[in-house]
Amino acid sequence: MNRRSFLTAGAGLAALALNPEALRAAAANQVAGDWRLGFADLEADLPRGPMTLVQGRAPAGLSGALYRNGSGKFRRPGASATHWFDGDGLMRAFRIHDGQATLEARFADTPKRRRDTAAGAVITPGFGTAAGPGAKIGSADDSNAANISVLPMGDELWALWEAGSPLVMDPDTLATRDFKTLRPDLRGMPFLAHPRREPGGRVWNLGVAGSKAVVWRLSPDGALEAADLIDLPRASYVHDFTATDRHLILVLQPWIQDRMTLPYVDSLTWRPQMGTQVLVLDKADLSRRRVFELPSFFCFHMGDAWAEADGTLRFDACISADPGFALQGARDVLAGKVTHGGGGARLAMISLNPNGSADLARTVLVAEFPRTDGRFAGRARRYTVHATGLTPGRPLFEGVAVHDWTRDVERRFHFGPRQMVEEAVFVARPGSSAEFDGWLLVPTLNLDAGASELHVFDAGAVQDGPICGWRGAAGLPVGLHGAFVARS
Ligand SMILES: [Fe+2]
């Protein structure tokens, strides 16, 4: 029996073995097959073009730009990225003005992209992609994909990775300027993709390398106020952190860097027996610290934290049992396979008590990409918006939800299986001051239309569905994180 006849015989046997459940699953796979559009390559920048209004009308007062970052190209003839987090950074801009919207996208012009383009192969190592022949890595920024998130800063747009410098782009043209050096002696130091901005504009961020971290403190216009090196109790993988008005809070999960190797993910070991620690630092004196112990969990993202009157610190997080999605699921999506669905994360509330104990209250609510009303960052708040809703046979999300922590109620809107829903961003209604008085901007990839869309919700009534929606002329790969810049 040769290989072809072996495969043919195997296919026949498999067909005979199909039961009704398997047939349904096969049908679901077929329907959901083109989710791969969300992980396809964009071959060239998308020039600014009008979006078509497909529903409702834009609310008066909603004016500005939603910038979004995420991988946009993975495959090259000689070799391809093997992990979703290792595509070339692609900055998208949805611009809303006078009731109209436009969409454009431009690749971050990084040394990584230039080198891989010249080689005709992805040779630059990344989070989960190995180095190829000819890779030259002299500093972290040589492999910086600038592909995770975006921080608007003064008249600059900083495209953020997590193991190297911010990459400065032009907010109007999305043209790349250069890596940001915040202080000459700190060139190339890591700068996480999830800085925390205080309501007054000051920005805190971390850069983490093993069990060392740099704590960045920037003024509202992006000038460096302080950069302090600290030791961490363990060399956890840190993607995000949170903060109250007075404290920085680091979740130190038991995914530990215990060796130096590339790609980065291969240097980490999951050690659930160690539990998860939470490190609390005093913003005014980083040497003042407390460590809390929790059961083991994995976490990419958390919401803003706050302090209760009795000193209890609280924050929400999207937690999962292990880093399976980061390890394997985010590889498999590039190969067209679904092994970890939406990543398995569920919404949870964490309380750090004045007596030194900590509580983890898990929910069963599917949740990723949590966002809050930035005007309440670090203060007691009520709401979190997050992506939700899983579709069998397809990765990522098909709905958006607003969780009310005061009443423990969640309101949702499901777009259905033909839409891939990305991170929602809250935009305050001009002149408002109440929490979540404003809109949610929810980008999606419409699989039937093969087009990227932008939906606007009343943040107080997400369950009523979009009040307005636009469709772009092209379908862009699904992105990760965004930020809105209002324009009056
Ligand atoms: Fe993230």
Q: pLDDT, tens digit, for every residue of 87-113? A: 999 999 999 999 999 999 999 999 999
DSSP 3-state of 414: strand
Q: Is 238 left (phi over 0), alpha (psi -120 to 50) or beta?
A: beta
* Region 321-340 average pLDDT: 93
Contact at 8 Å (CB) between 35 and 113? no
> Which pLDDT does position 3 carry in this prediction?
36
Q: Which two tokens stand for residue 98?
A: 């006078």
> Which pLDDT does position 136 carry in this prediction?
86
> Which pLDDT does position 128 carry in this prediction?
97
Upstream peptide bond of 233 is cis (omega within 30 degrees of 0): no
Distance 482 CA to ligand 1 centre (A): 10
Distance 458 CA to ligand 1 centre (A): 24
Distance 453 CA to ligand 1 centre (A): 21
> Which pLDDT does position 91 carry in this prediction?
98
Of residues 282 and 18, which shows the higher confidence score? 282
Distance 239 CA to ligand 1 centre (A): 6
Contact at 8 Å (CB) between 135 and 124? yes
Separation between Cα atoms, residue 472 and residue 261, nearest integer Å: 41
Distance 47 CA to ligand 1 centre (A): 26
Please report how many Cα atoms fall inside a 13 Å half-sphere around the Cα of residue 375, on the Cβ side.
13
Distance 475 CA to ligand 1 centre (A): 22
* Percent of the chain topping pLDDT 70: 93
> Which pLDDT does position 485 carry in this prediction?
98
Contact at 8 Å (CB) between 223 and 279? no
Strands 149-153 and 52-56, bridge-based pairing: unpaired
Main-chain dihedrals φ then ψ at residue 35, nearest 5 degrees: -60, -20
> Which pLDDT does position 180 carry in this prediction?
98
Distance 194 CA to ligand 1 centre (A): 7
Distance 298 CA to ligand 1 centre (A): 13
Distance 369 CA to ligand 1 centre (A): 7
Distance 160 CA to ligand 1 centre (A): 10
- Tokens 């007596």 found at: 355
Separation between Cα atoms, residue 420 and residue 443, nearest integer Å: 9
* Region 443-458 average pLDDT: 97
Residues 137-182 pLDDT 10s: 889 999 999 999 999 999 999 999 999 999 999 999 999 999 999 9
Residue 406 in domain: yes
Q: Which two tokens stand for residue 464?
A: 């009523």
Distance 301 CA to ligand 1 centre (A): 6
> Which pLDDT does position 286 carry in this prediction?
98
* Percent of the chain topping pLDDT 90: 90
Band (22; pLDDT cuts 50, 70, 90): very low
Domain that holds residue 447: 367-488
Q: What is the DSSP annotation of 28-62?
A: HHHHTGGGGGGGPPP-S-EEEEEPEEEEE-PPTT-
Domain count, the chain: 1
Residue 32 in domain: no
Contact at 8 Å (CB) between 319 and 302? no
First to last CA, the chain: 72
The CA–CA distances, whole Å, from 435 to 60, 227, 252, 381, 459 equal 19, 32, 30, 7, 10
> Which pLDDT does position 52 carry in this prediction?
98
Residue 403 in domain: yes
> Which pLDDT does position 137 carry in this prediction?
87
Distance 300 CA to ligand 1 centre (A): 6
> Which pLDDT does position 343 carry in this prediction?
76
Distance 24 CA to ligand 1 centre (A): 34
Distance 185 CA to ligand 1 centre (A): 27
Contact at 8 Å (CB) between 150 and 69? yes
Contact at 8 Å (CB) between 428 and 412? no
> Which pLDDT does position 359 carry in this prediction?
98
Q: Across the strands, what pairs with 421?
A: 397, 444
Provide the CA 88 distance to its chain's centre, in angstroms.
15
Distance 149 CA to ligand 1 centre (A): 7
Q: Is the pLDDT of residue 5 over 70?
A: no
* Region 48-72 average pLDDT: 97
Contact at 8 Å (CB) between 422 and 388? no
Distance 351 CA to ligand 1 centre (A): 22
> Which pLDDT does position 153 carry in this prediction?
97
Band (15; pLDDT cuts 50, 70, 90): very low
Radius of gyration of the chain (CA): 22
Residues 423-446 pLDDT 10s: 999 999 999 999 999 999 999 999
Separation between Cα atoms, residue 255 and residue 214, nearest integer Å: 19
Buried b (16+ CB within 10 A) or exposed e, 348-360: bbbbbeeeeebee
* Region 383-399 average pLDDT: 95
Q: What angle do CA 395, 398, 404 make, to 5 degrees?
A: 120
Residue 414 in domain: yes
Q: Is the pLDDT of residue 9 over 80?
A: no
pTM for the predicted model, two decimal places: 0.92
Q: What angle do CA 153, 157, 163 make, to 5 degrees?
A: 95
- CB contact set of 362 (below 8 Å; sequence gap of 6+): 319, 346, 348
Q: Is the pLDDT of residue 454 over 50?
A: yes
Distance 148 CA to ligand 1 centre (A): 6
* Region 334-341 average pLDDT: 88
Distance 481 CA to ligand 1 centre (A): 7
* Beta carbons within 10 angstroms of residue 45's beta carbon: 15
Distance 14 CA to ligand 1 centre (A): 40
Distance 27 CA to ligand 1 centre (A): 33
Residue 325 in domain: no
Residue 413 in domain: yes
* Region 129-133 average pLDDT: 96
Band (21; pLDDT cuts 50, 70, 90): very low
* Beta carbons within 10 angstroms of residue 200's beta carbon: 10
Residue 194 in domain: no
Q: Is the pLDDT of residue 30 over 70?
A: no
Q: What angle do CA 145, 156, 201 make, to 5 degrees?
A: 105
Buried b (16+ CB within 10 A) or exposed e, 206-218: bbbeeeebbbbbb
- CB contact set of 17 (below 8 Å; sequence gap of 6+): none
Buried b (16+ CB within 10 A) or exposed e, 172-194: eebebeebbebeeebebbbbbbb
Residue 132 in domain: no
Distance 326 CA to ligand 1 centre (A): 11
* Region 343-370 average pLDDT: 96
Q: Is the pLDDT of residue 7 over 70?
A: no
> Which pLDDT does position 194 carry in this prediction?
98
Q: Is the pLDDT of residue 460 over 90?
A: yes
Of residues 5 and 367, which shows the higher confidence score? 367
Distance 312 CA to ligand 1 centre (A): 26
Residues 312-330 pLDDT 10s: 999 999 999 999 999 999 9
Distance 325 CA to ligand 1 centre (A): 13
